[in-house]
């Protein structure tokens, strides 16, 4: 069965679905119980599942992830909410030095999910708008996923909860209530980790992107279609593991590649994808690999400055035209 829901509702639905299915699943985070979460993602779950499974925590991300890892060792499956992705740096040691390495060191899996609302567009300034995915993609032992649709927000979170090792689940605050979509119910809606999705087929140029930039890329592709250009949009969905086959297939198909992401450009996931293409698909390229990303500055608070900072359909279309003309 298909249901229409927002991106936020899809996340809540996945949490409730897995908590009903498996009594080992529990939630932890700041204000997620009585208050329902800073963005109301967990609203209503305390009433259904009680305070032993929807746990309000102190403002201590390092402790939250450490406790969650310990819970995982006694056959529980904790889902930790970081109130804003920016604060995940406070839990960095527990994530990177302990949870990510434990299966390698001890042979014991750490089935935890760290949910982190990320990205800008809401005029929240540099402490509440960051995109920290590159830190965790760089870390062996972690999986990193970023859904772009309500269906994937639900399906990827279910897969993350069922995964035997730590998953960083980055969710777009900008899409929470601005995006609605048809979402499969039950087991039909489970999305596998590590599989990209073609959101629009095309022949002239490939846009490789993820998260909220998928929708900006689709808008740009629609604009250029009116100008006679056929653009393919590949939504990575999973940043680690990457769907390398899907990336190389779209490069071979169109021979021109534009990589787009909201995170700042320096040492980014986009740079890794560009290197991957240069190493394994150079003979297919008919132009330089181009990138559209945020500049290497903190996220501005001022609305016009933030609009200039974040990539959008206009900038993507301009870069695509330049590459098509190469």
Active site residues: 128
> What DSSP string describes 128-166?
S----HHHHHTSTT-EEE---SHHHHHHHHHHHHHSSS-
What's the distance, CA 138 to chain centroid?
A: 15
- Degrees (nearest 5) of the Cα angle 283, 272, 103? 125
Three-state DSSP state, 120: coil
What distance in Å separates the CA atoms of residue 12 and residue 134, rounded to the nearest whole number? 26
What distance in Å separates the CA atoms of residue 113 and residue 131, rounded to the nearest whole number? 17
Contact indicator for 274, 243 with CB cutoff of 8 Å: no
């Amino acid at each position: 069965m298909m249901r229409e829901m927002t991106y936020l509702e899809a996340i809540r639905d996945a949490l409730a679905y897995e908590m009903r299915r498996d009594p080992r699943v529990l939630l932890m985070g700041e204000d997620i119980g009585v208050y329902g979460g800073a963005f109301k993602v967990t609203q209503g779950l305390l009433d259904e599942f009680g305070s032993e499974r929807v746990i309000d925590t102190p403002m201590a991300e390092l402790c939250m992830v450490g406790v969650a890892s310990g819970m995982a060792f006694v056959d529980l499956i904790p889902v930790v909410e970081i109130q804003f992705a920016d604060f995940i740096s406070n839990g960095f040691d527990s994530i990177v030095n302990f949870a990510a390495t434990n299966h390698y060191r001890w042979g014991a899996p750490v089935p935890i999910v760290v949910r982190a609302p990320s990205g800008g567009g809401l005029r929240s300034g540099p402490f509440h708008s960051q995109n920290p995915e590159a830190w965790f993609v760089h870390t062996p032992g972690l999986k990193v996923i970023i859904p772009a649709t309500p269906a994937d927000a639900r399906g990827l979170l279910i897969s993350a909860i069922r995964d035997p090792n730590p998953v960083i689940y980055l969710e777009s605050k900008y899409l929470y209530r601005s995006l609605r979509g048809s979402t499969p119910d039950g087991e039909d809606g489970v999305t596998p980790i590590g599989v990209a999705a073609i959101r629009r087929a095309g022949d002239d140029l490939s846009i490789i992107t993820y998260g909220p930039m998928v929708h900006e890329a689709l808008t740009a592709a629609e604009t250029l279609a009116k100008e006679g250009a056929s653009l393919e949009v590949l939504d990575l969905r999973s940043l680690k593991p990457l769907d390398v086959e899907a990336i190389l297939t779209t490069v071979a198909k169109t021979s021109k590649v534009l990589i787009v992401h909201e995170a700042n450009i320096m040492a980014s996931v986009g740079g890794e994808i560009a290197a991957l293409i240069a190493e394994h698909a150079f003979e297919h390229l008919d132009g330089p690999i181009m990138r559209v990303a945020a500049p290497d500055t903190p996220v501005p608070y001022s609305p016009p400055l933030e609009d200039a900072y974040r990539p959008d359909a206009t900038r993507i279309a301009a870069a695509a035209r330049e590459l098509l003309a190469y």
